[in-house]
Each structure stands twice: as C-alpha cells, then as structure tokens.
Amino acid sequence: MNDSWERFIVESQEVLTHFPGLELTVPENEPPLLTGSIELKDPHGNIYDQYQVRVVASDDSTIQFPGVYEVGGRLPHNIDWHVFEDGHCCIKSVPEQIVLCKKGLPLMRFIKEQLLPYLHGQAFREQNGYYLHERSHGELGNLEYIASVLKTQNRGTIIQQLLFILQGKEPNRSNRCFCGSRKLYRHCHRDSYQDLRLLPEELLRKYIVYLSA
C-alpha cells in the first residue's frame, strides 16, 4: 500500500464523521474507497438532494484528485456533463488539479471544496438544463484556467508570462511585476507565478506550443 492510499484511509475517518452516508472499504492490493450517499444542502442547511458516489484513492495525491464516480445512474457518461465515458467525474482542469494538490488538499477539503460544488452544479444542470460558470472541455478548458490565473485573455501575453515562469527566477516581492503593469510584484502576479510554477515544465511548454499554433 502506497503513501497516498494510507493517507486516504487516515483522512477518511474525519470524512465519515461529517458524511455518515459514506462507508470506507479497504480492498486487498487495490485502492481504498468511500462509497455511499452525499447529501446536498441549500444555504439554509436544508437537504434538497443527494447523490450516490464512489470516491477512490489516487495513486499519487500530490498531483491527482481522488477518482470520483456517480453510481446512482443519474449522470450521463458524456463529457458535456463533465463525466468521462468510464464514469469518472471531471471535476477540475488538469493544471488546476495539479496546483491544488501540490499546495496540499486533504480529503475532507477535497470533498467540501471540490466534490460538493461539483455535485451542486450537476443538480443545478439537472433542474435548469445548463451549468453556472462552466469551463470548456479538454485543452481549451485547461487554457481557460491558465488565463484566469494570469488575469488576461491575450494569447501573446499568456505566452510571454509562461516563458518567464519557465525561467524559474521569481522576482523579489518589492520588484515591479514581470507582467509590465509597473505594480509591485507582491500586489500583482505573485500568486499567479507561485501557482503556475507548481506545474511540470513539460506541461507549461505544451501550453505555450498550443497557444503559439
């Protein structure tokens, strides 16, 4: 059993106290998992829906979310519903997932901050026919995340800033920001730099090539 699986088991104990509809299973030579129901509550704390889910420990929780599957048969296995053909739920873009995991994402926080909002979004779509604040699928969605972190939609600007981040030479907090705004770095793109620097260099280079095409 690897470290990520062991961490999942330990962190599941807190999850089970807050989500009594879930149960922990620890198969031999396979990843541990949580299965059962998760209730959705409105802003007043009233339960308005619930989903049947399976949450499977990832092999490397430092770069990858646990695998989530909706097992109640409600969600189509269709990327337009943010569900892959194998039933695996698409909760966040690849780069955003890596950044969140590298910054530290305990299982309880994953469920509260990532899984619950995803399920609320699915319930909203089931009721209204569309998502709120939906990103595109695939590489376009990944690039939309990058653009949101860098606070610009200009492809040339994004390329320049990614090239700067690739150099690995973070400015001093009191220097002018590398984006050219003349603001102090700590008041401008410091968080952006520090987040995107967590991504593998090959991934940053891939996005630069994609944007340059």
Looking at residue 94, its pLDDT comes to: 94
pLDDT digits (tens, 9 = 90+) for 157-166: 999 999 999 9
- Quickly count helices (H) and strands (E) in the chain: 8, 4
Domain 3-128 has CATH 3.30.750: no
pLDDT surpassing 80 at residue 132: no
CA distances from 69 to 142, 143, 171, 209 (A): 21, 25, 42, 33
Per the CB < 8 A criterion, the answer to whether 85 and 77 are in contact is yes
Q: H-helix or E-strand containing 141?
A: helix 138-150
Q: Where are the domains of the chain?
A: 3-128, 138-212
The count of other CB atoms within 10 Å of the CB of residue 39 is 14
Beta-carbon contacts of residue 50 (< 8 Å; ≥ 6 apart): 21, 37, 38, 39, 40
Residue 131 pLDDT grade (very low, low, confident, very high; cuts 50, 70, 90): confident
Cα 186 to the center of its chain, rounded Å: 25
| Burial of residue 66 (number of CB atoms within 10 Å: 0-12, 13-18, 19+) | buried
When pLDDT is averaged across residues 189-193 and rounded to a whole number, the result is 96
Looking at residue 102, its pLDDT comes to: 96
Cα 74 to the center of its chain, rounded Å: 22
Structure tokens at 172: 């001093």
Of residues 50 and 131, the one with the higher pLDDT is 50
CA–CA distance, 110 with 165 (Å, rounded to integer): 27
